[in-house]
């Protein structure tokens, strides 16, 4: 069982009463606070006051120090941002958990009353920040009657590690599901694009075949028109026998026959040019 193996690896964790043994992240906060304290001593009206002078904040910082030291025993690393140490995360192997440590009920009070509430209500809680439910896994701990959060530190670290592993597995499952969905979507789009390309190709071939047929029908019509012109010229020539102004008639005949030859795809050679271009002849 994951919790049993991790507990054996972790051993018993206790929180130092003071800060004689201090995690590097906590040491930085204490150093900043000391500088603020020195400035505040000379300028008591400055807005930038020490963050961890209240009884509650001092306790909260000691708990975080014990928590960080405990995780350090098993190779965990810490992410902490902000001078108030309220953006927190633990990294252990490939797993990580974001969490908060604060006064129980602090979020239910207005911002202007939050600090007073933390000073009066000394109950402390730790909660993991995560989306959705994690069945069968504890994700929040708080002071209980006769059992403050400090006395639960070993259980808290084990629980955070177990929750982190479950959250990591869930994230990997979600990632695999997202990846599968993404691939399926890519395949669907590829099929749609292929089908669309094939449709466009069929449309192109159909249009090309229609254009060839239209050109053939146009040439055939032009050939018939040319033949009609020639027949008309021949009939006119027969009708004009013995009439005067043969010169004008011959000019008209030459023009009409030339137009017939121009229209005729055969006598004009237009059809042979098309076949030569297409490589048919």
Q: For the chain, what percent of residues have pLDDT higher than 70?
A: 91
Q: Which pLDDT band holds residue 112 (cuts at 50, 70, 90)?
A: very low
Name the residue with higher pLDDT: 207 or 3: 207
Residue 103: how many CB atoms within 10 A of its CB? Answer: 23
- Euclidean distance between CA atoms 66 and 18, whole angstroms: 10
pLDDT at 109 over 50: no
Q: Which pLDDT band holds residue 278 (cuts at 50, 70, 90)?
A: low
Name the residue with higher pLDDT: 108 or 38: 38
Q: Give the domain ranges of the chain.
A: 2-180
Q: In this predicted model, what pLDDT tens digit does every residue of 43-63 receive, in sequence order?
A: 877 777 888 989 999 999 999
pLDDT at 119: 55
- Euclidean distance between CA atoms 50 and 211, whole angstroms: 86
- Euclidean distance between CA atoms 249 and 252, whole angstroms: 5
Provide the β-strand partners of residue 271: none
30 three-class SS: helix
- Euclidean distance between CA atoms 22 and 30, whole angstroms: 10
Q: Which pLDDT band holds residue 113 (cuts at 50, 70, 90)?
A: very low
pLDDT at 63: 96
pLDDT at 18: 86
Q: Which of 4-8, 100-104, 119-123, 168-172 has the highest mean pLDDT?
A: 100-104
pLDDT at 279: 54
Task: Indicate the average pLDDT of the chain.
Answer: 87
Name the residue with higher pLDDT: 191 or 41: 191
pLDDT at 268 over 80: yes
């Amino acid at each position: 069982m994951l919790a049993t193996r991790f507990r054996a690896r972790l051993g018993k964790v206790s929180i130092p009463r003071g800060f004689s043994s201090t995690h590097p992240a906590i040491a930085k906060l204490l150093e900043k606070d000391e500088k603020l304290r020195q400035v505040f001593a000379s300028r008591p009206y400055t807005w930038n006051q020490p963050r961890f002078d209240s009884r509650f904040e001092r306790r909260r910082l000691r708990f975080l120090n014990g928590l960080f030291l405990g995780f350090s025993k098993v190779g965990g690393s810490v992410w902490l941002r902000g001078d108030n140490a309220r953006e927190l995360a633990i990294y252990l192997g490939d797993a990580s958990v974001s969490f908060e440590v604060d006064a129980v009920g602090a979020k239910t009070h207005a911002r202007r009353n939050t600090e007073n509430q933390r000073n009066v209500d000394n109950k402390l809680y730790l909660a993991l920040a995560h989306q959705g439910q994690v069945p069968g896994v504890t994700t929040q701990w708080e002071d209980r009657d006769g059992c403050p959060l400090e006395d639960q530190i070993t259980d808290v670290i084990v629980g955070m590690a177990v929750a982190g592993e479950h959250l990591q597995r869930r994230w990997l499952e979600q990632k695999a599901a997202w990846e599968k969905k993404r691939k399926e979507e890519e395949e669907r789009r590829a099929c749609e694009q292929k089908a669309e390309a094939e449709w466009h190709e069929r449309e192109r071939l159909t249009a090309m075949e229609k254009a060839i047929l239209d050109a053939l029908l146009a040439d055939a019509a032009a050939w018939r028109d040319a033949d009609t012109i020639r027949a008309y010229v021949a009939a006119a020539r027969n009708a004009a026998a013995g009439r005067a102004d043969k010169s004008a008639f011959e000019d008209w005949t030459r023009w009409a026959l030339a137009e017939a030859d121009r229209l005729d795809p055969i006598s004009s050679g237009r059809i042979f040019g098309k076949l030569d271009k297409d490589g048919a002849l």
